[in-house]
Structure 1
Amino acid sequence: MRKQLAVLAATAVLGVTSALAAHPFSDVTAQDWAYQAVERLAAEGVIEGYPDGTFKGQRNITRYEMAQMIARADAHQDEVTAEQRATIQRLANEFANELQAFGVRVNRLEDKVGNFKFSGDARLRYDNVYPGEHGTETLNGKSSFYYRARLKFEATIDEKTKAAVRLSTGDTRFDEEGHSGTSVDEVYVQHQFGKHVLATVGHKDYIVGNGLTYDDSFSGVKLRIGDEKLNTNLSFGYINSNGKKAVSIYEVGYRPNQSVNLKGFYIDRHSSKSNNDKTKKLTDIFGGSLDVYLGSDNKIWLGGEYARKERQGADGESWIVGGGYGKADILQSKTWDVKVQYFNFKKETFVKHTTYDVPTYYYNFVPAHANSKGWLATVDYTLTKNLGLSAYASFKSKTQDNVNKPELYRLDLNYQF
């Protein structure tokens, strides 16, 4: 883009209205078509010329020069319309790398461009995890394409309070009929009490530990107390476990540095009523996880997670352990990582909606992960900024009695915005 065109666009975006300066650039005259735009932005300090007093309007503007104009526009946040502020924010996001390169924090601009923003993601998935027509206990082996799209709206109520709503299509097979359409899968309010207490009330995604036992929705109240080094989560509400189940979840996280991350958790599953209307106490679950990152760039990963039903003994255990190399980042093109993990879920284990893409077996269309063990390989690669590809495959999967089980394969294409 020519420099004069960029300046004219900036004038329209910023809406500056100060008095014109008296010919600050020797190569810009009153006869030039961009004269008024150049003069206005120069008077506001949004643009600067060269040491010899020229503007050089015919040369192409660089991304860094454009980013500087966006950064200087920060001074005019209180003088522009909501539409103009939204345009400035979109430009700030587009030129985030250049802004950060010379020390301008995009977050500072975000704080001043109104109280509303949105983000989202889309996923195309291909796998062989489909329960079949009669809900058999083994994986059917039918390969299917799925799609999912989500759009999240966040509103800042004040400097300590925000509200969010997320719409989702859910995972939908391409050949599926009668899909119910888009639904609200997150709606919550968050409030910061002081520096170390964050309260969340509503319906939101929830990961217990690193997600071995549960990675799905949670409805209720969650209190996060502490900081990035040491924190505690206290949660009271309902999880999705073959219907809504009342729980209290207690978690502790400790991260002394960027190389070590340790977590512990306890899930208290509240009493329910059985068919004969007598109170039935559900088994509680406890566990923990450890992640260690090695090397000068922390690209070598070793980690694992363990969980156990309190009254089931060894039959209630589940664990996964593995290692990997690399660091895939959806915001950085051509980054990648690979992982290999071994999983072992005993017959009475509590693994309901797990983070890990281990083989999923169905009984009457209910996903089950118990009574299985084997290996899982994962590869992640960022094709370009905001577009990533992930591949998963299980191998040597067996029951606890060493009976072979069908293997899983999955390919995900993820886009976020």
Structure 2
Amino acid sequence: MAKLFWQSLLAVPAALGAAVAVSGSAIAAEAATTQVSNFDQDSVQLAQITSVSELTDVLPSDWAFQALQSLVENYGCIQGYPDRTFRGQRSLTRFEFAAGLNSCLDVIATLIAQSGINPDDLATIRRLQEEFQAELATLRGRVDALEAETATLRAQQFSTTTKLRGQADFNLVTPIDIVTGEASTSFAGRARLNFDSSFTGNDRLRIRLQGGDGNAINGLGGLANAGGANYNVTIDDFYYSFPVGSRLTVTAAARGLSGDDWVTSTIVPFDGPSVADAGGPQFYDFGGSTSNGAGVGVSFALTDNIVLDAGYTASNPGGATNPGVGIFAANNQSYIAQLSFLSDGFLDAGFAYLHNDQSTNFQGGLPGATDTFAGLLNLDFGGFFVAGHGAYSTFNGGNDFSWTAGVGFNNFLAEGAQLGVYGGQLPQYAGTTNNPFIVEGYYEIPFNQFLTITPAVIYGDINTGLAGNDDTGLWAALRATFRF
């Protein structure tokens, strides 16, 4: 009889422990769930088991193995699902919790009824209650505080469908060898806030607010993370993308997408870490149109590694937003198609075709169309990569060839860091006598998940050919990027 009583006594903390653990899990789940009333309340036929080894997804190495073994084999108050699984990583509903707790309490009641409680045993229970009274009070207080915090978070949450992400870039540029027009140390800043909303879990509505001021190295394409004037805030991106089936994604844009915005990847790893904008293939800008336009794009995954992207953009000024002109008669239009092979391994490659009506962007170009054909390649050897691109453009009045090539080292001296050097011949834009040439060396250092520092040294020849101009320059640059 005494043995039965002490079995019942041992079952009490097991049941209470299960209650506390499940209560904490349920509260935490409520904090991360916007709606908890839609779970299946239908009865579940559970499988009666006599040994924890009958549960196929429970291993002796699991941290709760001994607790489950005791509840199953000693008390028989834990059951499995019909497929002989316990599903220990799955969230628990309140109904399931109540059923499990009730089963354990039934066992306790049976054991007590069989053994009875003598005064000495009752005194022992009361002594244990008093001994652990402080711990139980502390635990109760923590649960109450967690419930209060959960209620506050639910009441003050920004949105149930929208996430806010921000980025701020600070650029400090000092000329070492001065070019005409850029003789002093200058600062450029840019800030952007992305409002990303999802209504199905797979779609995205993005509205980006952006403001900035300043730029440098303008004759070579400027800085990558700069732009704007007087920190005036504008809607820089405004689009909605959604899947159609498992392999097709459609994007409709009111503003902000053109050129490489329509493609899954620009292939070359310099695009992003580099301080100069030339780290991203410049043919996308020369072959595209203004990003201040409406458009539509599709991305079709032919296989898990081969992606076909296509996009069309019509400028808003004098075009897409003007009912008298319309989307298909806008005076600035462009479209792009790119076939990419993305392996996440040794080889990434792409072939792109772009068309626009901005022939006058090129030196010697007359009003008319531009067609650009480009190839991109990245060879990743693990510790380092070799990458580059080449682009051939024909325009009304001539043709042009541009390219970049370089090498980079991943995780150089620090995890997540990238050391890269690239150089190349940029498109010959209007006002130059030859293609500008650039070389940049950069070292991107992530200090933590919020801050990245990138020092860089940039050399370039603008090739304006103007008498008295000094076209070659050398710059030292430092960029700090905050993401939050």
| TM-score of Structure 1 vs Structure 2, range by shorter chain | 0.5 to 0.7
* CA pair 387-194 structure 1, distance change in 2 beyond 3 A: same
Q: Which amino acid aligns with 1:141?
A: A
2:163 to 113, 117, 133: 117
State the partner residue of 2:442. Answer: 378
State the partner residue of 2:299. Answer: 224
Q: Which amino acid aligns with 1:399?
A: N
Could you say what secondary structure the match of 2:472 adopts? coil
CA apart distance, 1:304: 0.5
Verify: 1:337 aligned to 2:418, yes or no: yes
Residues 149-204 of structure 1 deviation map (CA, whole Å, 9 limit, x = unaligned): 2111111122443311111122458xx99825322111111110001111111123
CA apart distance, 1:29: 2.8
Is the Cα–Cα contact under 8 Å of residues 180 and 471 in structure 2 kept in the other structure? no
2: CA distance, partners of 1:139 / 1:319: 26
Is the Cα–Cα contact under 8 Å of residues 409 and 420 in structure 2 kept in the other structure? yes
* CA pair 312-263 structure 1, distance change in 2 beyond 3 A: farther
* CA pair 235-398 structure 1, distance change in 2 beyond 3 A: closer
* CA pair 196-12 structure 1, distance change in 2 beyond 3 A: closer
Q: Which amino acid aligns with 1:371?
A: N
2:405 to 321, 338, 341: 321
* CA pair 149-404 structure 1, distance change in 2 beyond 3 A: closer
* CA pair 280-155 structure 1, distance change in 2 beyond 3 A: same
2: CA distance, partners of 1:177 / 1:288: 31
Is the Cα–Cα contact under 8 Å of residues 440 and 458 in structure 2 kept in the other structure? yes
2:232 to 137, 160, 181: 181
* CA pair 324-161 structure 1, distance change in 2 beyond 3 A: closer
1:290 to 377, 395, 403: 377
Verify: 1:156 aligned to 2:198, yes or no: yes
Tell me the C-alpha RMSD between the 2 structures: 4.8
1: CA distance, partners of 2:427 / 2:172: 28
Could you say what secondary structure the match of 2:250 adopts? strand
CA apart distance, 1:212: 1.1
Q: Which amino acid aligns with 1:410?
A: A
Could you say what secondary structure the match of 2:235 adopts? strand
Is the Cα–Cα contact under 8 Å of residues 246 and 270 in structure 1 kept in the other structure? yes
State the partner residue of 1:193. Answer: 244
Is the Cα–Cα contact under 8 Å of residues 449 and 483 in structure 2 kept in the other structure? no
State the partner residue of 2:78. Answer: none
Q: Which amino acid aligns with 2:200?
A: D
CA apart distance, 1:335: 3.1
Could you say what secondary structure the match of 1:83 adopts? helix
2: CA distance, partners of 1:178 / 1:212: 24
Verify: 1:248 aligned to 2:335, yes or no: yes
Q: Which amino acid aligns with 1:247?
A: S
2:479 to 406, 412, 415: 412
Residues 91-135 of structure 1 deviation map (CA, whole Å, 9 limit, x = unaligned): xxxxxxxxxxxxxxxxxxxxxx93221111111111258xx9xxx
Is the Cα–Cα contact under 8 Å of residues 262 and 289 in structure 1 kept in the other structure? yes
CA apart distance, 1:305: 0.9
* CA pair 383-240 structure 1, distance change in 2 beyond 3 A: farther
CA apart distance, 1:245: 2.7
1: CA distance, partners of 2:186 / 2:338: 37
2: CA distance, partners of 1:405 / 1:320: 18
CA apart distance, 1:205: 4.9
Q: Which amino acid aligns with 1:225?
A: F
Q: Which runs of 5+ in 1 are unaligned?
A: 1-6, 42-68, 74-79, 91-112, 274-278, 350-362
State the partner residue of 2:71. Answer: none
Verify: 1:167 aligned to 2:167, yes or no: no
State the partner residue of 2:183. Answer: 141
Residue identity (%): 16
Q: Which amino acid aligns with 2:299?
A: R
Query: Which one has a bigger Cα radius of gyration?
Result: 2
CA apart distance, 1:393: 1.6
CA apart distance, 1:139: 4.4
Residues 65-98 of structure 1 deviation map (CA, whole Å, 9 limit, x = unaligned): xxxx9xxx9xxxxxx76933987xx9xxxxxxxx
Could you say what secondary structure the match of 1:222 adopts? strand
Q: Which residues in structure 2 correspond to 1:10-409 (within 5 Å)?
A: 14=30, 28-29=132-133, 32-37=136-141, 83-84=153-154, 114-128=160-174, 138-172=180-214, 179=230, 181-202=232-253, 203-205=255-257, 208=260, 209=266, 210=268, 211-213=280-282, 214=284, 217=291, 219-226=294-301, 228-238=304-314, 245-270=332-357, 280-294=367-381, 298-311=382-395, 316-327=400-411, 334-345=415-426, 347=428, 371-395=435-459, 397=461, 399=463, 405-409=472-476
* CA pair 128-39 structure 1, distance change in 2 beyond 3 A: closer
Q: Which amino acid aligns with 1:338?
A: L
State the partner residue of 1:76. Answer: none
Of Structure 1 and Structure 2, the greater strand share is in: 1
Q: Which amino acid aligns with 1:251?
A: Q
CA apart distance, 1:391: 1.9
- Please identify, of 249-258 and 199-208, the stretch whose mean Cα deviation from structure 2 is larger: 199-208
